[in-house]
A and B are shown apart, each in its own frame.
Chain A
Amino acid sequence: MKKYICDVCGWIYDPEVGDPDSGLAPGTKFEDIPDDWECPECGVGKEDFSVLEG
């Protein structure tokens, strides 16, 4: 599963970890995150994330 990085603050979404604080269970693919989810660090939406290369 691909990791994604927040273009604004650099926080990395790791699908294996999810974002339990916002109700995203470990194993949640980035594509399956609801549209109203926000970056837990800076508050931007999914559209401000990019695939983490490497």
Chain B
Amino acid sequence: MNITLKDGIDWVGYIDWTVRDFHGYKTESGSTYNAYLIRDEKTALIDAVKAPFVEKYLDHVRALTDLESIDYIVCNHAEPDHSGGLPVAMKACSNAVLVCNAKCKGALEKHYDTADWKWQVVEDGETISLGKRTLSFINTPMVHWPESMFTYVPEDKLLFSMDAFGQHYASAFRFDDEEPLDVILQEAKAYYANIVMLYGRPIAQTMERAAELEIEMIAPSHGVIWRSHIKEVFAAYQKYVVCKPRPKVIVLYATMWKATEQMADAILEGAQECNVEAHLYNVDSTHMTRIATEVLDCAAIAVGSPTLNNSIMPAMAGVLCYLSGLRPTQKQGFAFGSYGWSKRGGPTEIGQAMEAMKIEMVREPIRAQYAPTPEILEECREAGRAMGQYAEQFPAE
């Protein structure tokens, strides 16, 4: 396995082939926790790995250098998938100073017993010389947590971007040109949608700052390292930060006795008459990870649930809770569903939830009492058509 990024800079992380749940994100392709070793006159580690894999990480470091030779361990992000190994690593690397910003120090102190750690707290724009190379620190709040930070090495034009541009993608390869581009871009999209969709504004600002740097390589803390397709992943992120709509509509539903499902099918059929991608997802059979990924770049979304105990189906409530936290923007939509006897709950409640998510509501909820009549199904088809016609205006790429 090729682990060398640049002369003197190597990957020392851990490939997590078997992880399938990452705080609720269904990681069907596993993940990696990337960490990097820079050997110069001084020696620095960039980040650690998840706690259970710290010994593997230290083995990777030991294969290249003595642990006593480590002068600095930089922590770009306090989340435990990268910091979990720090308590063991700080003990094992007895001469290492922990380098991070003030917010990160506060967060690490609240996660671990740090009483014995030596610290160097850095400000935005500060640098540390390693000899031939410089570590330059850039605060990137909310990409992904408040303390998040990039580390940039100007001499190598190398950006350690932490979660940004990452992918939950275990692979035998470390570099973007060793893998099919469409596969890794899809993983980068899923990662963006599920982890940081709500932080589009701070990420856009971070990208503006990154655009001022000369970059030949982006080394994120998950997935493959970008060196041949930086332009492509930047262009993709530029679209993601504004949830840029494509000619694509989504019909999302839950159902008990298939009345709401019939309505969903009719909406889908209407949309299929247009020149758009029309998707249909039942929340019971499609994990919310996939749903969030698809919502990121849709233009319009119809959401349906029958009324259950004066409310909506709990699986749908879970998906809506998740989506509303991710704060997708630039979406139109409407609610639909079947009910038995009450006005509240079901489609009414779905409509309220969508409105609270600031989805632009194009019509009142479509409601069917028990099984939908042919007239109601035609109304569904018509609403699907209208949604498709709206989505058609957006460019496909």
* Contact assessment for B202 and A43 in the assembled complex, using a CB-CB cutoff below 8 Å: no
Per-residue contact bits, chain B 133-156, to A (CB 8 Å; 1 contact, 0 not): 000000001100010000000000
CB-CB nearest in chain B for A40 = B201
Q: Is A10 an interface residue (CB 8 A)?
A: yes
Is the interface on chain A under 10, 10 to 19, 20 to 34, or 35 or more residues? under 10
Per-residue contact bits, chain B 236-266, to A (CB 8 Å; 1 contact, 0 not): 0000000000000000000000000000000
Q: Is B218 an interface residue (CB 8 A)?
A: no
* Contact assessment for A8 and B327 in the assembled complex, using a CB-CB cutoff below 8 Å: no
CB distance from A54 to the nearest CB of B (A): 18
- Of B141, B142, B327, the most chain A CB neighbours within 10 A belong to B142
* Contact assessment for A9 and B327 in the assembled complex, using a CB-CB cutoff below 8 Å: no
CB distance from A34 to the nearest CB of B (A): 13
Cα of A42 to Cα of B200 in the assembled complex, Å: 9
Q: Is B198 an interface residue (CB 8 A)?
A: yes
Q: Given A8-B146, A9-B202, are A42 and B141 neighbors across the interface (CB < 8 Å)? A: yes
Cα of A9 to Cα of B139 in the assembled complex, Å: 11
* Interface positions of B from 177 to 201, Cβ below 8 Å from A: 198-199, 201
Q: Is A16 an interface residue (CB 8 A)?
A: no
* Contact assessment for A41 and B146 in the assembled complex, using a CB-CB cutoff below 8 Å: no
Cα of A40 to Cα of B200 in the assembled complex, Å: 10
Q: Given A42-B146, A43-B327, are A9 and B141 neighbors across the interface (CB < 8 Å)? A: yes
* Contact assessment for A42 and B327 in the assembled complex, using a CB-CB cutoff below 8 Å: no
* Contact assessment for A43 and B141 in the assembled complex, using a CB-CB cutoff below 8 Å: no
Tell me which residues across on chain B come within 8 A of A10, comparing CB atoms: 141
* Contact assessment for A43 and B201 in the assembled complex, using a CB-CB cutoff below 8 Å: no
CB distance from B198 to the nearest CB of A (A): 6
CB-CB nearest in chain A for B358 = A22
Per-residue contact bits, chain A 34-53, to B (CB 8 Å; 1 contact, 0 not): 00000011110000000000
* Contact assessment for A41 and B327 in the assembled complex, using a CB-CB cutoff below 8 Å: no
Tell me which residues across on chain A come within 8 A of B202, comparing CB atoms: 9, 41-42
CB-CB nearest in chain A for B201 = A41
Cα of A43 to Cα of B324 in the assembled complex, Å: 11
Tell me which residues across on chain B come within 8 A of A41, comparing CB atoms: 141-142, 199, 201-202
Tell me which residues across on chain B come within 8 A of A40, comparing CB atoms: 201
Cα of A9 to Cα of B141 in the assembled complex, Å: 6
Cα of A40 to Cα of B358 in the assembled complex, Å: 13
Cα of A9 to Cα of B146 in the assembled complex, Å: 6
Per-residue contact bits, chain A 10-48, to B (CB 8 Å; 1 contact, 0 not): 100000000000000000000000000000111100000
Cα of A26 to Cα of B326 in the assembled complex, Å: 27
Cα of A40 to Cα of B198 in the assembled complex, Å: 10
Tell me which residues across on chain B come within 8 A of A9, comparing CB atoms: 141-142, 146, 202
CB-CB nearest in chain A for B202 = A41
Cα of A42 to Cα of B103 in the assembled complex, Å: 15
CB-CB nearest in chain B for A42 = B142
CB distance from B218 to the nearest CB of A (A): 23
Tell me which residues across on chain A come within 8 A of B325, comparing CB atoms: 43
Cα of A8 to Cα of B146 in the assembled complex, Å: 6
Cα of A9 to Cα of B200 in the assembled complex, Å: 13
Tell me which residues across on chain B come within 8 A of A8, comparing CB atoms: 141-142, 146
Tell me which residues across on chain B come within 8 A of A43, comparing CB atoms: 198, 325, 327
CB distance from A17 to the nearest CB of B (A): 15
CB distance from B191 to the nearest CB of A (A): 19
CB distance from B106 to the nearest CB of A (A): 12
CB distance from A1 to the nearest CB of B (A): 23
Q: Would you mind naming 9 contact pairs between A and B with Cβ atoms under 8 Å apart?
A: A8-B142, A9-B202, A40-B201, A41-B142, A42-B146, A42-B198, A42-B199, A43-B325, A43-B327
Additional A-B contacts beyond A8-B142, A9-B141, A40-B201 (8; CB < 8 A): A8-B141, A8-B146, A9-B202, A41-B199, A41-B201, A41-B202, A43-B198, A43-B327
Identify the 3 closest CB pairs spanning chains A and B, nearest first.
A9-B141, A42-B142, A9-B142
Report B's interface with A, CB cutoff 8 A: 141-142, 146, 198-199, 201-202, 325, 327
